[in-house]
Amino acid sequence: MAPLLSIKNLHVTFNTYAGKVYAVRGIDLTVEKGETLAIVGESGSGKSVSSKAIIGLLPKQSASIEQGEVLFEGRDLLSLNKSEMQKIRGSEIAVIFQDPMTALNPTMKVGKQVVEGAMKHQKLSKKEAHHLAIELFEMVGIPNPEVRINQYPHEFSGGMRQRVVIAMALASKPKLLIADEPTTALDVTIQAQILDLLRDIQKKTGTSIIFITHDLGVVANIADSVAVMYAGQIVEKGKVEEVFHNPVHPYNWGLLRSMPNMETKGKLYSIPGSPPDLMNPPTGDAFAPRNEFALSIDYEKAPPTYAVSETHTAATWLLHPKAPNINYTKQSNDDLDEEEISAVNMNDTLLKVSNLKKHFNLPSKQVLKAVDGVSLEIRKGETLGLVGESGCGKSTTGRTLLGLYEPTEGEILYNNTPIKEGNKKDFSQKIQMIFQDPYASLDPRKKVEDIIAEGLDIHGLAENKQERQEKVQRLLKVVGLQPDHAQRFPHEFSGGQRQRIGIARALAVEPELIIADEPISALDVSIQAQVVNLLKELQKDRDLTYLFIAHDLSMVKYISDRIGVMYLGAMVELAEADELYKKPLHPYTQALLSAVPVPDPKIEKTRERIILEGGLPSPVNPPQGCRFRTRCPLATEKCAEIPQWREVEKSHWVACHYV
Amino acid sequence: MKKFILVRLVNILITLFLIATLTFFLMKTLPGSPFDEEKLMNLSEELRMEFYAKYGLDEPLHIQYFKYMGDLVQGDLGLSYYYKEQPVSSLIMDRLAPSALIGLQAVVLGLSIGIILGMVAAFRHNTGWDYFTMIIAVLGVSVPNFVLAAFFQFYIGLKWGILPVAYWESYDHSILPTIALAVGVIAQIARFMRNEMLEVLQQDYIITAQSKGLGDWVVLIRHAIRNAMIPIVTILGPVVVSLLTGSLVIENIFSIPGIGSLFVDSIKMNDYTTIMGLTLFYSAFFILTMLIVDILYGIIDPRIRVHGKE
C-alpha cells in the first residue's frame, strides 16, 4: 500500500540579513495511513520547518524550498498553486500548534474559530456548523459545549485551549494531523490528558499523525515510528522500539543517555559542544565535532544512509562494514555506575521556613493566595527540589525566600537568624538566584563582564579594576566559558552559554544558597545535561546549597537529595528523593509521577497511568479543606477538613487524610 | 459595565470642577482686565466702576468664585464681556456647527485613509506600497498643518480655483480645512496601523488561520484587522485632541467662524467668561472622548470586557 505522505530529498533555506541558512538539508520521510510518526530533534534541527514546508506555511519572503518533493496521496504538494493548497490545508491536512495561549484569535468566539475552516471546505450552513462545533467539543472532552462555544479563548485554561485547538484541527476530518510540540507548553498532568486524547482520536478516526517534539518520553508514549533530526538532516529513523532499544547513531545515543531516568545516579552523560551553525553547514557529518566516536572520514564526507533492518535506517559511518564496533549498552552502563556519597548533615539546617504565606491583592479586590502556608527546611549542602505544576506557587516561594517579595505571613530563619524587612540586605549576598529564561534574564546592553561583576560592585567585593577583572575571568572559567567572553554581549551566546553566564553571575558574590528557578527548562536536552552537571560540580567544589525549582520530575529526581511537592500554594509531600519516587504517598504525587513520560516505549505503552480529571482550580478561590480534593480519586467528605502536615515516616512528610 | 460608567461619570464631574476652579483663579491672577483696552483707556473711573459692578468684578475674589460656580451648576456660563451681553453658552452653540463638521470629517477621513494605508503597507511589506505610505506618513507628521493649509489655499484655491480659499458659505468651504486637518491624522494612524499589522501578522493565530485553509483576505479581515485595531483605539484620544488644537490654527487661516477662532479671539480680548466657558467645553469634550475610547476598547477586545465586569 502506498504511504499517505512521502517526502523526498527536501531542502529548505532561509534568507537572513546575515546570510543563507540551510535549515533542512535533504530529508526523506514516509507516513503510513493511521500511524504516528514522531520527529525528534533539538531547537534549530529543522523539524518544525519540515512540517511547515509540507503544508506551505513557511514565511514567503524569507524561506525557499530549494528542491524535493512532498507527495500526499500521489500529488506533489510543492507544485500546487495557492488556491489548490488552501483546499488541502485544514481539510486533508490539519495542524496543531505548540502554544495554545497564542494559537487562538483572542477576539473571536472559539466555536466560530473551530468550525470556520470546515464551513469553507464543506460549505456548511450556520446551523450545521453549530452542530459540528458542539460535536467536536464533545469529542475532545470539553464539558458544557453549548455554553463553551460562545466564549472567548481567555475564558479557557491552557489544557482546555489545547483541546479547542485539537477540535479545530479535527473539524474537517483530516487524513493527516501535524502536531507541532502540542504538549510542550502544558503541565505534565495536562500533557497526559492531551496525549490520551490524541491516541483516542486516532483510534476513532484512523488519521495519521506527525508528532513533532523534543521530549523523548512523549515519543516513547505516542509514536509508532520515529525520525531523529540533527542539523537539518534525519540521522536515524525506524520503529519506536528500534530507535529506543537498538539505537545506532551516536547522536541518538547521546540523547537517550543525557535524559536521566528515575534510577540515574552519578554523573549525567552530556553531549559536548553545541549544534553547528547552519549558515555554513559542515561538509562531513554535522555531528562529528560532538561525537566521541567520530572517524576521520566523518569530517570529510557526509555519511550515506545505511539500513539496519527493513524499517530501521541511520546515517553514520559507524555502520560501514569496516568501522569499529561500538557497544552502546555497555558504554552507557559504565558511565552511570559511579555512586556518589552525600555529605549532607541531617541536623545542619541552613534555612528554615515556617508557615510561609504570600498573598497578592488583585485589582478586582480579590486575594490571590500564591503561597499559603509552606513549611520547609533546607540543610547545608543539600539540594532541595521543589516540584509542582504551573501556578502551584513554587516560583513565588523561591522569590519570597530571596526577599524579592515581602512574605504576607510566616517566618524565614537563615542560620537561625530571622530574615526581616530591616536586615534583608545582610542576606542578599548569601542567597542568589538563577533564572529560567537565559534570554530575558541578562541585560542585552551590558557586557558579560559587567553582568557578572554587578554583584561584586554592589557588595564592594573587588577592590580595584584588576581584581574585578580577575574574578570575572576566574568565574568564566569555572562555568566553562572562555576568559575573552567577558568583553562580549549576551546576544553573541547560545542559550546554554547564557545560562552559564547566569550561573557565573550568581556565583560572583560567593553565596551559600542558590535558588534555581527552572534553570534548565528553556534549554535543549543535550544542553540540559551539561548545565545540570555543572551545577552538581559547583555544589561539590563550593559547598553550595540549592533550592531547585522545576516541573521536570526526572531531572529533579536526579539532582535533588530531597523533594517537596507543591499543589495550589501548599506543600503536599516532602521526602528523600528515592523514597518519594519509590513510595509516593500523596495521591497527587502518585498522579504526577505516573504522568511523566519515560523515554522507554516498553514501559510507556504498557503502564497504567493515573489521569487526573480537569485542571488546576483558581488560587483566588481554592477548594476548602484539602486543596486537591476536587481532582483526587480518593476524595471523601472528610477531605473538606484541612489535612494535617505530618511526618508519617522518618523524614517523609505528607498532608493527606488517607495515608 | 453600568457601574464602570457610573464611576467614570463621577470622576468626570470632579475633574471638571477642578479644571473650572483652576482656570478661574489662573485667569484672575493674570494682569489686565477686559476693560483695559486702548479704546477704553480714557474711560472715566466712574464708568469703569460701573462696568465692574455690572459684571460682578468689584466683589471680593471668593464671592466671584462662588457666584460663578453656582451659575455653572445651573448650566449658566455667564455673559460674554466682549460680544455685547451674549450668554457664553449660546455663543459656543452658534460657533459649534462649523468646527464640529470639519472635525468630524477630518476624523472620519483620517481614520479610514490612515487605516487602509497602514494595512496595505503592512500587507505589502517592503514593497513600493510600503515605502510610498511611509513617505506620506513622515511628511504628514513633520509638515505643520498651517503650512499645508497655506499651500492648499495658494494652489487649489487661488491658482487653480477648484475650491474656495476661505470663509464659511457653502459645503465646499469645508473641504480644504478638512483635508488640512486630516493629513496629520492620516500620517499618525497609518504609521501606527502598519506597525500593529506587522506585529499581528506574525502572531500564531494568523498562522493557525492560514493552516485552516482560509484565503489571504479572509485571514486579513476576519483575524488580523480587529486585533490590530485594539491599539489604534488607544491613540484615538490624543488624535482627537490634536484635531482640536489643530483647528484653532486652521479656523483662523480659513477665516471660519468656529469655536477655535472664538477661543483665539476671546484670549486676545481678555474675555474671561468666554475663555472659561471654552476651556470647560474643551475639557468636557476631551474627557468624554476618553470615556468613549475606553468603552470602545471593551467592544473590540473581549478580554477587557470581562475585566470591566469584575
**Cα torsion through A559, A560, A565, A568, rounded to 10:** -60
Average pLDDT, rounded, for chain A? 89
C-alpha cell at B305: 470586557
User: Looking at per-residue confidence, does B84 or A104 come out higher?
Assistant: A104
Q: State percent of chain A over pLDDT 90.
A: 52
B304 in reach of chain A (CB within 8 A) = no
Residue B139: count of CB within 10 angstroms of its CB: 12
Tell me, yes or no, whether A53 and A190 share the same domain: yes
**Which residue in chain A is spatially nearest to B222 when comparing CA positions?**
A108
Asked if residue A341 has pLDDT above 70, the reply is no
Nearest to B204 among A91, A103, A107 (CB): A103
Nearest to A319 by CA among A257, A246, A369: A246
Query: Cβ(A74)–Cβ(A117) under 8 Å?
Result: no
d(CA A34, CA A1): 12
Q: Are residues A258 and A356 in the same domain?
A: no
CA distance A306 to A30: 17
C-alpha cell at B139: 511628511
Inter-chain touch B209–A94, beta carbons under 8 Å: no
Quick check: A565 and A643 in contact, CB under 8 A? no
- Within this chain, do residues A294 and A379 fall inside the same structural domain, yes or no? no
Strands A208-213 and A176-180: parallel
Residue whose C-alpha is closest to residue B124's, from B113, B134, B110: B134
Give me the amino acid identity at B303: R
* Burial class of residue A72 in the structure, from the number of CB atoms within 10 Å of its CB (0-12 exposed, 13-18 middle, 19+ buried): buried
Q: Which residue of chain B is at minimal alpha-carbon distance from A112?
A: B222
Say what the pLDDT of residue A106 is. Answer: 92
Residues B77-104 pLDDT 10s: 888 877 777 888 888 888 888 888 898 8
Q: How far is CA A90 from the centre of its chain?
A: 28
Choose one of A329, A361, A377: the last residue of a domain.
Answer: A329
CATH number for domain B88-309, candidates 1.10.3720.10, 3.40.640.10, 3.40.50.720, 1.10.10.10: 1.10.3720.10
Mean pLDDT of B297-306: 77
Same domain, A87 and A228: yes
Give yes or no for A116 touching B (CB within 8 A). yes
Any CB–CB contact under 8 A between A336 and chain B? no
Interface contacts (A, B; CB < 8 Å)? 81
The mean pLDDT of A600-627, rounded to a whole number, is: 84
Whether the predicted pLDDT of A340 surpasses 70: no
Q: Is residue A436 part of a domain?
A: no
Q: Which of residues 67-106 of A touch B (CB under 8 A)?
A: 83, 86-91, 94-95, 97, 99, 102-106
B208 touching A (Cβ < 8 Å): yes
Q: In the Cβ-directed half-sphere of A134, how many Cα atoms lie within 13 Å?
A: 9
In a domain, A596, yes or no: yes
3-state secondary structure of A401: helix
Other Cβ atoms closer than 10 A to B111: 18
Cβ contacts of B218 on chain A, cutoff 8 Å? 120
A226 and A164 in a common domain: no
Query: Quick one: pLDDT band at residue A493, thresholds 50, 70, 90?
Result: confident
Cell numbers linked to A553: 520530575
pLDDT at residue B306, as a whole number: 52
Task: Write the Ramachandran bin of B79: left for phi over 0, alpha for psi from -120 to 50, otherwise beta.
Answer: beta
Best residue in A55, A72, A81, A107 to probe B by mutation, most B CBs within 10 Å? Answer: A107
pTM above 0.80, yes or no: yes
B247 part of contact set with chain A, CB < 8 Å:
no
A108 interfaces chain B, CB cutoff of 8 Å: yes
Q: Which pLDDT band, with edges at 50, 70 and 90, does B249 fall under?
A: confident
Domain count, chain A: 3
- For residue A337, the model assigns a pLDDT of 47
The pLDDT, as a whole number, for residue A132 is 94
Q: Residue A331: which pLDDT band, with cuts at 50, 70 and 90?
A: low
Contact between residue A316 and residue A250 where contact means Cβ atoms under 8 Å apart: yes
- Percent of chain A beyond pLDDT 70? 97
Rounded to a whole number of angstroms, the distance from the CA of A539 to the nearest CA of chain B is: 41
* Minimal-distance CA residue of chain B relative to A52: B211
Does the distance separating the beta carbons of B303 and A90 come in below 8 Å?
A: no
A266: cell is 552519578
User: Residues of A with CB below 8 A from B215's CB?
Assistant: 83, 86
Is residue B227 exposed (0-12), middle (13-18) or buried (19+ Cβ within 10 Å)? Answer: buried
| A85 and A120, same domain (yes or no) | no
**Is residue B310 over pLDDT 50?**
no
For residues A300 and A382, state if they share a domain: no
Which residue in B198, B199, B212 has the most chain A C-beta atoms within 10 A of its own C-beta, making it the best mutation to test that interface? B212
Residue among B125, B214, B230 minimizing CB distance to A116: B214
Answer yes or no: is pLDDT of A124 > 70: yes
Of the residues B3, B208, B309, the best mutation for testing chain A's interface (the one with the most A CB atoms within 10 Å of its CB) is B208
Q: Do A201 and A278 have their domain in common? A: yes
CA distance A306 to A236: 9
* Residue-level pLDDT at A329: 64
Q: What is the mean pLDDT of residues B278-293?
A: 87
pLDDT of residue B309: 40
Contacts of B122 in chain A (CB under 8 A): none
Confirm whether A343 is domain-assigned. no
Q: For residue A605, what pLDDT is reported?
A: 82
Give yes or no: residues A177 and A166 share one domain.
Answer: no
CA distance A7 to B13: 69
Contact B301/A97, CB-based, under 8 Å? no
Q: Would you state the pLDDT for residue A115?
A: 94
Cβ-based contacts of B310 with chain A (< 8 Å): 364
Q: In whole angstroms, how far apart are CA B279 and each of B6, B21, B69, B265?
A: 24, 11, 14, 14
Last residue of a domain, one of A329, A358, A393: A329
At A333 the pLDDT is: 53
Residue A14: pLDDT band with limits 50, 70, 90: very high
Query: What are the φ/ψ torsions at residue A104 (nearest 5 degrees)?
Result: -110, 140
Q: Are A114 and A133 in contact (CB under 8 A)?
A: yes
Q: Which of A41-45, A385-389, A543-547 has the lowest mean pLDDT?
A: A41-45
Tell me the β-bridge partners of A356: A374
**pLDDT for the residue A342:** 58
Question: In degrees to the nearest 10, what's the CA dihedral of B75, B80, B85, B89?
Answer: -30
Mean pLDDT value across residues A512-516 = 94
- Contact by Cβ (8 Å): B72, B87: no
Kindly tell me the burial class for residue A633, based on how many C-beta atoms sit within 10 Å of its own C-beta (0-12, 13-18, 19 or more).
exposed
Q: Show which of A171, A203, A231 is a domain's final residue.
A: A171
Question: Would you state the pLDDT for residue B263?
Answer: 87
How confident is the model over A350-362, as a mean pLDDT? 91
The DSSP line for A29-61 is EEE-TT-EEEEE--TTSSHHHHHHHHTT-S-TT
The answer to whether the beta carbons of residues A506 and A538 sit under 8 Å apart is no
Distance, in Å, from the CA atom of A210 to the CA atom of A176, rounded to the nearest integer, reads 7
Look over chain B and give the mean of its residue pLDDT values, rounded to a whole number: 85
Convert the pLDDT of each residue in A192-228 to its tens digit: 888 999 999 999 999 999 999 988 889 999 999 999 9
Q: Which residue of B has its CA nearest to A154?
A: B303
A chain contacts of residue B224, beta-carbon cutoff 8 Å: none
Helices B88-123, B225-253: inter-axial angle, 10-degree rounding:
130
Residue of chain B whose Cα is closest to the Cα of A121: B213
Amino acid at A488: R
Single-letter code of the amino acid located at B265: D
- Which of B205, B210, B307 minimises the CB distance to A105? B205
Please give the grid coordinates belonging to residue A18: 546575515
Query: Which residues neighbour A274 within 8 Å (Cβ) at sequence distance 6 or greater?
Result: A290, A494, A496, A497, A527
> Chain A within 8 Å of B203 (Cβ-Cβ)?
yes
Taking the Cβ of residue B125 and every Cβ of chain A, the question of whether any pair is shorter than 8 Å is answered with: yes
A260 shares its domain with A165: no
Confidence grade of residue A150 (pLDDT, cut at 50, 70, 90): very high
CA distance B205 to chain A (A): 4
What element of type H or E holds A587?
A: helix A587-595
All cell numbers assigned to A161: 485551549
Ranking A398-402, A421-425, A557-561, B68-72 by mean pLDDT, the lowest is: A421-425
- Residue A183 burial (CB count, 10 A): 27
Mean pLDDT, range B158-164, rounded to an integer: 86
Task: Evaluate if residue B41 carries a pLDDT over 70.
Answer: no
Q: Is A152 on the interface with B (CB under 8 A)?
A: yes
Residue B239 predicted with pLDDT over 70: yes
Q: Bridge partners of A64? A: A13
Would you say B191 and B118 are in contact if contact means Cβ atoms under 8 Å apart? Answer: yes
Same domain membership, residue A201 and residue A87: yes
Strand, coil or helix: A552: coil
- Nearest-Cα distance to chain A for B137, in Å, is 24
Instruction: Decide: residue A175, CB within 10 A, 0-12 exposed, 13-18 middle, 19+ buried.
Output: buried
- Give the three cell numbers for residue A535: 551545577
Does residue A656 surpass a pLDDT of 50? yes
> Which among B205, B214, B230 is the nearest to A120, CB-wise?
B214
Which pLDDT tens digit goes with each residue over A174-186?
A: 999 999 999 888 8
pLDDT at A345 over 80: no
Q: Does A480 reside within a domain?
A: no
Axis crossing angle, helix B145-152 with helix B225-253, rounded to the nearest 10: 70
Alpha-carbon distance A366 to nearest alpha carbon in chain B (angstroms): 10
Q: Cβ contacts (< 8 Å) between A97 and chain B: which residues?
A: 204, 207-208, 211
Q: Report the residue from B212, B227, B303 with minimal CB separation from A117.
A: B212
In angstroms, rounded to a whole number, what is the distance separating the alpha carbons of residues A233 and A256? 18
Residues A255 and A315 in one domain: yes
pLDDT for res A424: 80
- Locate all alpha helices (DSSP H) within A47-187, ordered by sequence: 47-54, 82-88, 110-122, 126-139, 145-148, 158-170
Question: How much of chain B exceeds pLDDT 70, in percent?
Answer: 94
Q: What per-residue confidence (pLDDT) applies to A60?
A: 82
Residue A519 forms part of a structural domain: yes
Q: Residue A425: which domain range?
A: 349-430+511-654
Cα A68 to Cα A78: distance, rounded to the nearest angstrom: 8
Instruction: Indicate the pLDDT class of residue A311, thresholds 50, 70 and 90.
Output: very high
Q: Chain B contact for A155, CB < 8 A?
A: yes
Residue A477 has pLDDT above 80, yes or no: yes
Each domain of chain B, given as residue ranges in start order, spans 2-71, 88-309
Question: For the residues A90-118, what does the mean pLDDT come to?
Answer: 92
- Option in B213, B222, B303 nearest A106 (CB): B303
CATH number at residue A11: 3.40.50.300
B7 — contact with chain A (CB < 8 Å)?
A: no
In this prediction, residues B152-168 reach a mean pLDDT of 86
Average pLDDT over residues B180-199: 91
Instruction: Give φ, ψ of A379 to 5 degrees.
Output: -90, 155
DSSP string, chain B: -HHHHHHHHHHHHHHHHHHHHHHHHHHHHSS--TT-SGGGTT--HHHHHHHHHHTTTTS-HHHHHHHHHHHHHTT---B-TTTTT-BHHHHHHHHHHHHHHHHHHHHHHHHHHHHHHHHHHHHTTTSHHHHHHHHHHHHHHHS-HHHHHHHHIIIIIIIS-SS--S-SSSGGGGHHHHHHHHHHHHHHHHHHHHHHHHHHHTSHHHHHHHHTT--HHHIIIIIIHHHHHHHHHHHHHHHHHHHHHHHHHHHHHTT--SHHHHHHHHHHTT-HHHHHHHHHHHHHHHHHHHHHHHHHHHHH-HHHHHHHH-
- Read off the pLDDT of residues B250-278 as tens digits, 9 standing for 90 and up: 888 898 888 888 888 888 888 888 888 88
